[in-house]
Amino acid sequence: MNNQKTYVAYVAFFIAAMVFFIYYLFPSTTIADYMSNAASLQHPDLEVFVDHVSPAFPPGLKFDGLKIDYRQQPALTAQRARFSPVLRTLFSTSRKVNFDIVCADGSINGQADIIKEKDGVLIKSKAELSDIEIGKINAVNVYSPHLLSGILNGQVSVNTDLTSDVQNEAELTISDFKITLETPIINVESFEFKSIVASLSLSQRRIRLRKCTLKGRDMDGEITGTLSIRVPFENSLLNFSGTIQPHPEFMAQLSSTLPVAMLSAQSIGQKGLPFRIRGTVNNPGFSLR
């Protein structure tokens, strides 16, 4: 009996010692520096900063205070992020990693498939976006001249294979969306939408909005088009078109700005009032056609 107690005591001491060495002597700074250097080597415009790194269970790494900058501008700040490899894939050419990122009052959860090939590494990933506050995404505040708010949910897939027709796809929903314009359009300073449902893709530096349906307080509408990405991002080209169905109260508000004939039931019709958005991100142009 005494021998059994002694054995249990040794095991408990060994486990406690392992926990101490793993958690308290974990090389947090070394791993954080490695992450930052690796990100810069892969993409010189990216900078990654981590306050603290610790081991996690199931086996993986937990990052506290993760910050990503793009071209020396804040792009994303995460309160914490956790990455856990799928153990059975560690020694294969296709390694899978589960991730869970807490940011902007919401979360990003998914799995990345890291594929080793002769010419380098391919990454295929799928993620679920849950309850993310748009106004708290750093990149939105940096690159948009307008004030945005709303709750973002959806699914995103990423494929770094440049030979693929589509590298990135997303099915997104935004609820309680509000945009306060830097410069009013047709004397309107802001728009509010109860829901926005969008399907889009990114390929060869072009974001294609395949379909976007808006249900709003003042109007409903549909939009399609493209955003051609330029450097800097503010110079990216807008090419969108769509239709809007103004609600009666909003039509009354517009009557003081737009010709009455344009707002007639005959002009709007069943499909709505057509419009275009052209120009650049920092200098968009809006027109009714």
- The arithmetic mean of pLDDT across residues 45-65, rounded, is 83
How much is the pLDDT for 25? 47
Tell me if 172 is assigned to some domain: no
Tell me if 113 is assigned to some domain: yes
How much is the pLDDT for 165? 54
Residue 11, both tokens: 């095991």
Q: Percent of the chain having pLDDT more than 90?
A: 34
Evaluate if residue 51 carries a pLDDT over 70.
Answer: yes
| Domain span at 11 | 1-128
The answer to whether 113 and 150 are in contact (CB under 8 A) is: no
Say how far apart CA 226 and CA 200 lie, in whole Å.
9
Evaluate if residue 277 carries a pLDDT over 70.
Answer: yes
Evaluate if residue 14 carries a pLDDT over 60.
Answer: no
Of the candidates 247, 249, 227, the one whose C-alpha atom is nearest the C-alpha of residue 237 is 227
How much is the pLDDT for 215? 96
Residue 284, both tokens: 């968009």
Evaluate if residue 60 carries a pLDDT over 70.
Answer: yes
Evaluate if residue 72 carries a pLDDT over 90.
Answer: no
Of the candidates 105, 53, 56, the one whose C-alpha atom is nearest the C-alpha of residue 77 is 105
Tell me if 255 is assigned to some domain: no
**pLDDT of 38-47, one tens digit each?**
666 566 777 8
Whole-prediction pTM value?
0.81
Tell me if 256 is assigned to some domain: no
How much is the pLDDT for 192? 94
**Cα–Cα distances in angstroms (integers) from residue 15 to residues 9, 11, 12, in the given order:** 10, 6, 5
How much is the pLDDT for 41? 59
Say how far apart CA 209 and CA 162 lie, in whole Å.
20
Q: Identify the sign of the CA torsion 86, 131, 43, 239.
A: positive
In the chain, which residue ranges form alpha helices assigned H by DSSP?
Answer: 2-24, 28-42, 138-143, 248-254, 265-268
How much is the pLDDT for 23? 46
**pLDDT of 97-125, one tens digit each?**
899 999 999 999 999 888 877 776 778 88
How much is the pLDDT for 134? 95
The answer to whether 174 and 134 are in contact (CB under 8 A) is: yes
In total, how many domains does the chain have?
1
How much is the pLDDT for 202? 86
Phi, psi of 230 (to 5 degrees): -125, 165
Averaged pLDDT of the chain? 81
**pLDDT of 123-155, one tens digit each?**
888 999 999 999 999 988 888 888 999 999 999
Helix (H, G, I), strand (E, B) or coil at 270: coil
**ω before 232 within 30° of 0 (cis)?**
yes
Tell me if 190 is assigned to some domain: no
Tell me if 14 is assigned to some domain: yes
Q: Percent of the chain having pLDDT more than 70?
A: 76
How much is the pLDDT for 85? 86
Residue 197, both tokens: 């449902």
Evaluate if residue 87 carries a pLDDT over 90.
Answer: no
Tell me if 270 is assigned to some domain: no
Of the candidates 192, 110, 195, 118, the one whose C-alpha atom is nearest the C-alpha of residue 151 is 195
How much is the pLDDT for 216? 93
Tell me if 56 is assigned to some domain: yes
Say how far apart CA 221 and CA 235 lie, in whole Å.
26
